[in-house]
Amino acid sequence: MAQKGFYINQQFCVGCKACQIACKDKNDLEVGQLWRKVEEVSDGYYVKRGEGYEPNVYAYWISMACNHCENPKCVINCPTGALYKREEDGLVLFDEGKCIGCRYCIWSCPYDAPQYNEKKGKIGKCNYCVDLVEKGEDPACVASCPVRVLEAGDIEELRKKYKGTDQVAGMADPKITKPSITITPHKNALGNRRGG
């Protein structure tokens, strides 16, 4: 089975949120619902240089949607089968007709991917823009990125091409769900960078 996934080049992401807006627009999401979220991670500290201290501050962004995990806890914990992993491409998809609004998937997902819709009383989530992908197009988030830091495709091919990581500072531990992502990390996103 080929597994679809996302590549994120965090080094060059400018945090413009075009991907977030494109996803929201394409899926006609309610206020407060985001199936792709761009969040800033920032920190800073001082480094002693001689008799003084110099500031070292940084910020980077994490663009995150459903990671179509190899071991999706949302699917495992969904009591009705509304969430399922599609056999041919590994995408974690959603059948709204089966959803009872229990929110077990929200509690199960370490990436905050499923979002509850108060009006419908059901959840919704990234579906990898499967309708666009089946026509040979990119997902809306990928197509909208002005600096081309997002890519979609077979996750093994993306991992070979970019040799990234599946976890950066600010993300959940990938060991449990095995997310289908690979990230070229920002230089400050690989753990504690504090100097002395």
| pLDDT band at residue 191 using 50, 70 and 90 as cut-offs | low
Residue 45 pLDDT > 90, yes or no? no
Give helix then strand counts, H and E, for the chain.
6, 9
Highest mean pLDDT out of 57-66, 139-148, 158-167:
139-148
| pLDDT tops 80 at residue 15 | yes
Residue 192 pLDDT > 80: no
Report whether pLDDT(193) > 50.
Answer: no
The pTM of the full predicted model, rounded to 2 decimals, is 0.90
Question: What is the rounded distance in angstroms from the CA atom of residue 104 to the CA atom of residue 162?
Answer: 34
Domains of the chain: 4-184 (3.30.70.20)
Name 135's Cβ contacts closer than 8 Å, sequence gap at least 6: none
